[in-house]
Amino acid sequence: MEKEPYKIMENLPQSSETYNRIFARGGYQGAYELPYWHSSYYPLFKAVLAGVLRHGVKTVLEVGCGTGGFAQLLMDKTSLNYRGFDFSEVAVESAKARTGRPEAFSVANATIRSSYEGCDYDCVVCTEVLEHIEQDLDTIAHWKPGIFCECSVPNFDSETHVRYFKSEAEVVNRYKALIDIERVIRIKKPVLTDISFANTLREIRWNRNQPQKLLEILGFGSFDSVGGWFVFSGPRKQ
């Protein structure tokens, strides 16, 4: 029997109401309201977009679009067709406002098959989502066979996570029955929520007498100590 992914903290109810409250507050230290290039999620978004472009897809469906950070990066840097949905109405409204593309977003639940009906896509992007869903495998089963999948899961716990992963092998073992995983890469999470140049300089100055924190701000913390994401990709199995 395969070992289950880790879960330590007691998680919040995985409901749209929970996430509406989180998104309305802007997330931890306002992370969801930052420009994507200032956000701690920027390294993740860049890695995911690079994986998408590497496979030459044309139409992306983002499952769990949040406030539209990845969507805006994709729209700024590519001409790919894009649609995204999230079950948080607050997040979807933020995504529409952020990108100025209200027609690209809708409110839907990733765990319900009907959310995918009528969608034309050859790629699913699903980041910062699967770790929040008890029925993660059932969710992936709704995706069209043969499409390319670019997903992420964390190596750290949170009150909104129902699981997290400690190794590439754990990721592969959980999702290999549904996705023909071609690669798993590690993306280290910045310790600062706001990674803008001005804020980084400020944090360096404030922490100049704390060597360990200073090294982490400068990017020398390990993947296991500061946290990060496993980004995995491959075609949805037939």
**pLDDT tens by residue, 199-226:** 999 999 999 899 999 999 999 989 999 9
Q: Please choose, from the candidates 124, 138, 146, 145, the residue with its C-alpha nearest in 3D space to the C-alpha of residue 175.
A: 138
Are 86 and 92 spatial neighbours (Cβ–Cβ below 8 Å)? yes
User: pTM of the full predicted structure?
Assistant: 0.92
- pLDDT tens across 36-73, in order? 999 999 999 999 999 999 999 999 999 999 999 999 99
Burial label for 86, CB within 10 Å (0-12, 13-18, 19+), is buried
- Residue-level pLDDT at 162: 93
Q: Does domain 16-189+224-235 have CATH number 3.40.30.10?
A: no
For the chain, what are the domain ranges? Answer: 16-189+224-235
DSSP state of 34: S
C-alpha to C-alpha distance for 122 and 181, rounded to whole angstroms = 16
Average pLDDT of adjacent 10-residue blocks, the chain of 238 residues = 67 82 87 95 98 95 97 98 97 97 97 94 97 96 97 94 96 98 97 96 93 91 94 96
**In the chain, how many H helices and how many E strands?**
9, 7
